[in-house]
Structure 1
Amino acid sequence: MASFTLHGIPVSRGIAIGRAHLLTPAALDVKHYLVPEEQVEAEVKRLQDAIAEVHRNLQELWTDLPKDAPTELGAFIDVHALILSDPMISEAPLDIIRSRHYNAEWALVTQIDELSSQFDEIEDPYLRERKHDIQQVAERVLKVLMGTALSVPPVLAGDEGYAPQMVVVAHDISPADMLAFRDRSFIGFVTDVGGQNSHTAIVARSLDIPASVGMSQASRLIEQDDWVIVDGDAGVVICNPSPLVMEQYRARQLALVKARKRLLKLKKTPAVTKDGTAIKLMANIELPDDCPHALDAGATGIGLFRSEFLFMGRGAHALRVPDEEEQFEQYKRAVVAMKGRPVTIRTLDVGADKPLDPTEHTALNPALGLRAIRYCLAEPQLFLTQLRAILRASAFGKVRILFPMLAHAFEIDQTLNILEQAKAQLREQNVKFDEQVEVGAMIEIPAAALALPMFVRRMDFLSIGTNDLIQYTLAIDRVDYEVAHLYDPLHPAVLQLIGMTIAAGQKAGIDVAVCGEMAGDIKLTRLLLGMGLREFSMHPAQLLSVKQEILNADLAQIAPRMRRIMRSMEPAEILEAVEQLQLN
């Protein structure tokens, strides 16, 4: 097979080498995992039993048809029974289970996708539409399988004899879908669309999995089971590489593993600059299960718990909203896991590329619509439920509450009033919580950065969400790969807004953190230190690299260079000055 290279946007560092797994939208609805050799025949039987049960169901439908039923109904059932008996449905997926060790649902969807693509090439419109009959039959089998699938445990990445070696290739992958792949046998992600700071990219970094996005035609050009190299540092994907290229990348991969092992020695080293300035290094997490990774990286706390991931990817549940008890248990798990270290929980931040229900109608421009705190204020009962759950968790350790996307004084006051309602309700029920729980605001809208006095008067701390701050300052949809090249954290306007926020916090005597992607970018660590930042929050996988930068930084040398950077309005001049900061 011919080798070719695709260039996209690097979003998660590292190198992944494995077989391509093409992911279609239909495939996202089922579980994907590898079956151990000794369980293959049991998995084959599970699919055979499901097909047999659908056969019985169809026969019962045919038998129970009323005598006056239209003849088309009987014919419809007969067609579905014939399709189900066809070897392409009843036998081919079994071969996939035996040869690739796919679980039954995955094998069936893989085969159906292949058949559907063949039908798409048929010129006759009537025959072409028959693919829907095939898909309907498959849906029947999948429903039976999914009813029994919970009893079959997935093989987790790293299980003995099954080194993960598959790279997901898709047109797009939502954050919730990406989270569904955690702890499974996948080592890299490639998508046609997406930008450096889309939430999909952020989740890839949090999972510490190499990924490249904005590849345009990757899902069309790369074929199932092709050998793929994902160079997450360069945003390059090499398909069917030559033996020489494969050898070179395996050597680079080994060197990266060794470098990471060296960084582990810094885990217990305090984050202090050369001139003795202590820096707080916190972790960003999506779920409580991420806390052990944060501790392993030496985080001094959780600077951002993205609570919306508890609400997303909840299947067909009515409102896809966990109740107060479920939320409380999850927040409590995180708080207890961090063993007294602070846990900053951001309230529900949905909208834009993180819809609570992806099937619902979305606004023309969701990034500017009803999202984050606006959504919560529009749904006060949902908001109250979450606040009560967070407050209850505060009885088990240090909790801070962070509110996203605030821009107006009345929004701040409304938010704080609802928080007081939640506290009052808990007091009435004699439920314990931290009466002195700290509250903070995310500074991610230019209007907020330009109106800081109204924030510092009302809040205990601030956290700069650089991802959205850059997006809104530069009028760039960070999910749109066609304008992703305009996303620039070093734009002078962005630097001015960040600098103003840090300075305002210092003047008011309140903590200011950066929890966006800039915090984990080692090329920007010294820049942020020079701007006065003393609290960074990032993905656990980035923490030790940032700590190494901090240990090598001398603020006395950085300070005079910062004046030149902050005065400059020329991008090339700023970039050169930032690069110079890295040299000493």
Structure 2
Amino acid sequence: MPTASATSAREILTGLHEVMASKTQAQAKLNKVVKIIAEAMGSEVCSIYLLRDGVLELFATVGLNQSAVHVTKLALGEGLVGTIAEDVAILNLDEATRHPEFAYRPETGEEMFHSFAGVPIVRRERAIGVLAVQHAESRAYDDVEIEALQTVAMVLSELIANAGLADRATAATDKARDAGTARLDGLKLVTGMGRGTAVFHQPRILIEHTVAEDTEAERQRVYSAFRKMREQIDTMTSQAEFGTAGEHQEILETYKMFAYDEGWSRRINEAIDSGLTAEAAIERVQQRTRMRMRQIDDPLLAERMHDLDDLANRLLRIVSGQLGTAAQMGLRGDAILIARNLGPAELLEYDKRRLKGVILEEGSLTAHVTIVARAMGIPMLGRVRNIRQLVSEGDEILLDTGEGTAFVRPNNVLEEAFEAKLLASQKRRAQYAALRDQPPVTRDGTRMTLMVNAGLRDDAGALDLVGADGIGLFRTEFQFLVSATLPRRESQQRLYKSVLDAAGDKPVIFRTIDVGGDKALPYLKVEDSENEENPAMGWRALRLALDRDGLMKAQARALLEAAAGGVLNVMFPMISEPWEFDAAKALVEEQRAWLAARRKALPRDVRYGAMLEVPALAETLDILLPKIDFLSIGTNDLTQFLFAADRAHPKLAERYDWLSPAILRFLRRVVRAADDHGVPVGVCGEMGGRPLEAMALIGIGIRRLSITPVAVGQIKAMIRSLDLSALTPALEGMLARPPEDLRAALAAWADRHQVALG
């Protein structure tokens, strides 16, 4: 029996091209199509089933009873045809009746046929039909025959879609959508709620023309696209010299391996040989990859297949000339952005007014994009696997990152519940907004200082909006993270001055650059950093800045010039020992003297602070405290160092509680040491932005909190409802004899004393 080689596949496509170009009706075209395929493959049966109103309907056949056309119907998942469509998978059976999903339809007259092969007809990654062949002889089909069927099915999808014969390739046509609403679970990266339609950061390219007019011309288009893609990957690899240890390097090396994989390019060439256009050939090979991905249980191998899928999308965009992201094309309404991962600069390209949330397949608590999203107040959910297979462009999504969930295609009940929760949240925000001009004073008269964390130019504008006392942490590294090249000193100075001007009389504490480790700058190469196993505890922050003092000197001069005539508050991150503070301060003072010698305008005062993030520093506070003007505790890093627990690890992210005796006792010891030396101490980590945690911090003596702008209202409401004279002794008792669940005990105390926890 003859097999379908690439040559015969091309003959089939040539015949299909003529049929598609004819002016006959769609039904007549499909009747001709099944005959062409059957003759070319020497098949006794060839049938096309199309998805109509959610059911697979026999639409055209040669070999089965014609009376069964438009009569035989199968639900998704029913029979062999339904299984193929539901799983978007291939079936190749030498004895069809042995398959557990086999369903006999007597009206078709198929009882005489033993072997069966079927492939899905795919449109926008979803099955809109099935193409099947059958033989009376019991035999398995050759790989080359299956390849030919898949190629033909791709071309058929264009004919079927253009004729409007099948259900549109939307969510209602696959398994998840057949079930209606889908729930997605992930890791909470930035808390919040958002509603909008799904928008892919890199939209899929829809293949409109599948049959090639000139095979050689299509081949040259693919060659050119491969060259451009390889140049892009080589550039990415060469630029990502800093912080490429571990995952970063693996991804780039895998991309490079696939980009230069001759097997991949050969398969695309073979698809072109069969008569496909360059775009269709890439998509044809990509479909095969996706089908394999669905069958892979090994998560590491599946991840590599995702890399190839991403790379195929890149190649497809290059060959089609459609290179823009959704941000560059513009959002047309409220949107939930879908991406595998994002860079901080990419996120900043989006219209903040319309971007209501982000869902990532990857993502971590410490990723650059998470830090920026938190600063922008955009809800973000991470670690949502296979989201691009479960969601389509335009799907309605309800995102509630506080619960770690998103609902796709929600029903009325979910929408009503979401709207009620959102309305309650908006009412609370309105109540908090009413407190904007009210001071954060406890019921018994103790004044707290509420400041905000910032990192973007526009963040300073939030001070008056939320009624904050100043900026307690300005992350200067944001400018470095979102820039393609090292920001010049003049650029840094403009940013710092604009922030100081916007803050007016309110203080701004600038933290010197905290990059390195997991905050990689692709344009900055640091030797010996490529193989860091624990980047959070590696060559980063002040360690890196003192080593690369040219970087810090430029920043110090920019800060001094920006604060001319005012007060400069500068804080050094990740100090482990007092000598590091001494070295950093000396470097700033050196630049101050350099500017003074040139009669440049200078700040009237420079106040120096230190961040306590490394537990070791607590053992030398008696040495450090006399040298500093203020102390800030970075609870994010401090917690993971105290517990030896990576905050970015999904299994550890929520395991270790800020409200544990270990954390609170440690912080209380630091506060008492600072009080003894008359040094004001504050907290500038996420811990201070949670009402119950903030209450505990105040109870152990913290009087300054620097938090996200959106948290100011609820923390102020908590403070104004709090009787500090009652809390302090109660908390002291709990820390002296810790209850089994300190969090629950604190919550119960707050409830009894009517503390507003939101």
TM-score, normalised with respect to structure 2: 0.60
State the 1:353 CA deviation. 2.9
Alignment match, 1:342: 507
Alignment match, 2:644: 475
Alignment match, 2:635: 466
* 1:7 alignment partner AA: D
* 2:191 alignment partner AA: R
Q: For residues 112 and 286 of structure 1, what CA distance do their matches in structure 2 show?
A: 45
State the 1:394 CA deviation. 1.5
Q: For residues 650 and 349 of structure 2, what CA distance do their matches in structure 1 show?
A: 23
1:186 aligns with 2:351: no
Alignment match, 1:245: 414
1:6 aligns with 2:184: yes
State the 1:166 CA deviation. 1.4
Alignment match, 1:412: 581
For the residue of structure 2 that corresponds to 1:524, the secondary structure is helix
State the 1:219 CA deviation. 4.6
| Uncovered stretches (5+) of structure 1, i.e. residues with no partner | 28-53, 62-75, 90-110
* Maintained 8 Å contact 2:568/2:605: no
Q: For residues 171 and 258 of structure 1, what CA distance do their matches in structure 2 show?
A: 34
Q: Deviations over 1:315-371 (max 9, x none)?
A: 3xxxx2111111001000000011121111100001233212289646222111110
Bigger shift: 565-574 or 408-417?
A: 565-574
Identity %, equivalent residues: 30
Structure 1's 371 and 169: CA in aligned 2 closer, same or farther, altered over 3 A?
same
Give the 5 Å matches for 1:313-352. Answer: 313-315=482-484, 320-352=485-517
Alignment match, 2:520: 355
Alignment match, 2:196: 18
State the 1:425 CA deviation. 1.4
State the 1:570 CA deviation. 5.2
Alignment match, 1:452: 621
Alignment match, 1:281: 450
Structure 1's 215 and 564: CA in aligned 2 closer, same or farther, altered over 3 A?
farther
State the 1:435 CA deviation. 4.8
Structure 1's 201 and 521: CA in aligned 2 closer, same or farther, altered over 3 A?
farther
Count of residues in Structure 1 that have an aligned counterpart in Structure 2: 500
TM-score, normalised with respect to structure 1: 0.76
For the residue of structure 1 that corresponds to 2:359, the secondary structure is strand
* Maintained 8 Å contact 1:527/1:581: no
* Maintained 8 Å contact 1:450/1:497: no
Give the 5 Å matches for 1:180-329. Answer: 180-181=349-350, 183=352, 185-194=354-363, 200-315=369-484, 320-329=485-494
Q: Deviations over 1:42-74 (max 9, x none)?
A: xxxxxxxxxxxx99xx8xx9xxxxxxxxxxxxx
Q: For residues 297 and 129 of structure 1, what CA distance do their matches in structure 2 show?
A: 46
Give the one of 701, 706, 709 matched to 1:532: 701
Structure 1's 117 and 353: CA in aligned 2 closer, same or farther, altered over 3 A?
farther
Alignment match, 2:603: 434
Q: For residues 131 and 559 of structure 1, what CA distance do their matches in structure 2 show?
A: 55
State the 1:385 CA deviation. 0.4
Bigger shift: 195-204 or 404-413?
A: 195-204
* Maintained 8 Å contact 1:297/1:543: yes
* Maintained 8 Å contact 2:557/2:591: yes
Structure 1's 251 and 129: CA in aligned 2 closer, same or farther, altered over 3 A?
closer
Q: Deviations over 1:190-215 (max 9, x none)?
A: 23445556654443332222233343
State the 1:571 CA deviation. 5.1
Q: For residues 132 and 213 of structure 1, what CA distance do their matches in structure 2 show?
A: 21
Structure 1's 515 and 301: CA in aligned 2 closer, same or farther, altered over 3 A?
same
For the residue of structure 2 that corresponds to 1:484, the secondary structure is coil
* 2:509 alignment partner AA: T
Bigger shift: 517-526 or 323-332?
A: 517-526
Structure 1's 574 and 487: CA in aligned 2 closer, same or farther, altered over 3 A?
closer
For the residue of structure 1 that corresponds to 2:469, the secondary structure is coil
Q: For residues 247 and 472 of structure 1, what CA distance do their matches in structure 2 show?
A: 43
Larger Rg: 2
Alignment match, 1:545: 714
* 2:723 alignment partner AA: D
State the 1:112 CA deviation. 12
State the 1:136 CA deviation. 4.9
Q: For residues 421 and 538 of structure 1, what CA distance do their matches in structure 2 show?
A: 32
1:443 aligns with 2:612: yes
Alignment match, 1:390: 559
Structure 1's 392 and 298: CA in aligned 2 closer, same or farther, altered over 3 A?
same
Q: For residues 493 and 375 of structure 2, what CA distance do their matches in structure 1 show?
A: 23
Q: For residues 252 and 454 of structure 1, what CA distance do their matches in structure 2 show?
A: 51
For the residue of structure 1 that corresponds to 2:654, the secondary structure is helix
Q: For residues 442 and 131 of structure 1, what CA distance do their matches in structure 2 show?
A: 40
* Maintained 8 Å contact 2:466/2:712: yes
* 2:689 alignment partner AA: G
Q: For residues 564 and 443 of structure 2, what CA distance do their matches in structure 1 show?
A: 38
State the 1:562 CA deviation. 1.1
* Maintained 8 Å contact 2:660/2:742: no
Q: For residues 485 and 474 of structure 1, what CA distance do their matches in structure 2 show?
A: 12
* 2:552 alignment partner AA: F
